[in-house]
Amino acid sequence: MDKNSIIISLSIVGLVALGGIGYAVWSTSQTPQVAVQQTPENTTNSTNTTNLVAQAGAPIVQTDSISAPYISTVVTKGTVNPNGAITTYWYEYGKTVALGSQTPNYLIGSGFTKMYTPAYITGLQANTDYYFRLSANNSFGTIHGITYTFKTNTTPPPEGTAPTTSTQNATDITRTTVNLNGKINPNGAQSTFWFEYGSSSNLGSVTSFQSTNDSKSSSDVSVSISNLQPLTKYFFRLNAQNQFGTINGQILNFTTLGPVQATIPKVNTTSATNITNSSAKLNAGVNPNGAQTTYWFEYSNNSFLPDDKILNTQEQSLTDSAFNINVSATIDNLDNNTKYYIRVAAKNRYGTVRGDMVSFTTKK
C-alpha cells in the first residue's frame, strides 16, 4: 500500500486543556491534509510573523489538530491573537478539503493577547471524515489556519451548552482602580471567564482568565483592576467560554475619579459630639486628593494652639481616594467645664494642611 495514502488513526482517552477547560477526547486527527499559511487574503506575503508589536495588524491564527468528535458533533479549538484590532473567529468544515460550511462568528475583542477559540459543531454524520480549520478576521485582513481532519464516531454528544453572561455595574471606583462585576452561568460545562476593558468601546485590554465549575446556575464574579487613568471613562464587558463556544456580555462603562493630578489633602473640622465632663468625640472631613494620606486632630484649651500646649491624637491612614471621608477620634482626660479648641490636620507627599479651628466646652 502506498504509504502516502495511509491515514493514521489514533485512539486516545485523555484530557485536552483549553485554558483550564477539560475535554474528554476519544480520537485525534491525523497529520494535516492541507497546510495553509496564515496570510491575509488578497496579499502576496507568505511570511507568518508571530512577534507581538504595539502596532495593530492581521490576527494570528493557530488551529489545534486535536479535536473531540462524537456521533454527530465535534469540539474544535485553537487560538487567535486579535493583534490590536477587533477580531472575530469561526471554523470552516466539510467532507472535502473545499470545506463549505462554517460555524457562527465569535467576537474575541481587540487586544494583543492569545485567546482560546473553542467551537461546537453540530449536525454531522456518524462515522464520517471531516476537514476543518480555524479562521479569523479583523480590519487588517482574514487569516486561515492549517486544515486538519477528524472522524465522527458513535459516542453520544456531551451535555451542556455555551455559557451565559451578564455584565454588572462596576463598584469601588477610585482614581486608578475599580472592581468589575458580572454574572455567569456555565450551563453544565466547565467554563472560563474574563473581562475586557479599555478607554473606548473597542476595549483592548483583558484581565486574567479564571475558571468556573460545570454548574447550571448563575453566580457572581468580580475582578479588580488597577493602573487606570484618573477622570477617564472606561468601557468593559464580561466574556465566557466553554467547549460549546465563546459568549460576550453587554458593554457597560464607568468613569474613574479625579483629580487628574494628585495634590495636598483637603480638610474640614466639624463640631465635636458625645461631650462629657472629661471626654469628647472630634469629627472632621478629609479628602486625600489622590495620594495616600494620614490625619490627626490637634486640641488645646488655649485658643492660640501654641506648640507647647497642643495635644495630638494618634495619626490614622487613608487610601489615595479622591472624595471626602468622615473621620473621628475620641479624646479623654479633659478638664470639666473647660473650653477646648480643636482642628483636624492631614498630610500626604504633597504637603500638610490644617482645618479651621472649632471649639467646645466640657460639661461640669
- Listing DSSP states for 110-130 in one string gives S-SS-EE--EEE-SPPTT-EE
Indicate whether 112 belongs to any domain.
no
Residue 252 has pLDDT above 50, yes or no: yes
Residues 241 and 222 reside in one and the same domain: yes
Indicate whether 260 belongs to any domain.
no
Indicate whether 40 belongs to any domain.
yes
Q: How many domains does the chain have?
A: 3
Residue 54: what pLDDT? 59
Residues 146 and 94 reside in one and the same domain: yes
Taking only the tens place, the pLDDT of each residue in 27-69 is 333 333 333 333 343 333 333 333 444 589 999 999 999 999 9
Average pLDDT of 201-218? 90
Residue 69: what pLDDT? 96
> How far apart (Å, rounded) are the C-alpha atoms in residues 7 and 149?
10
Average pLDDT of 279-291? 96
More confident residue, 171 or 14: 171
> Residue 65 corresponds to which cell in the numbers above?
489538530
> How far apart (Å, rounded) are the C-alpha atoms in residues 364 and 362?
7
Residues 91 and 223 reside in one and the same domain: no
| Residue 4 dihedral angles phi and psi, to the nearest 5° | -70, -20
Residues 137 and 177 reside in one and the same domain: no
**CA-angle at 45, arms to 43 and 51, nearest 5°:** 120
Average pLDDT of 308-319? 94
Q: Output the domain CATH number for residue 328.
A: 2.60.40.10
Q: What domain range includes position 86?
A: 11-106+117-151
* Of the candidates 178, 202, 181, 201, the residue with the CA atom closest to the CA atom of residue 193: 181
Residue 216: what pLDDT? 92
Residue 3 has pLDDT above 50, yes or no: no
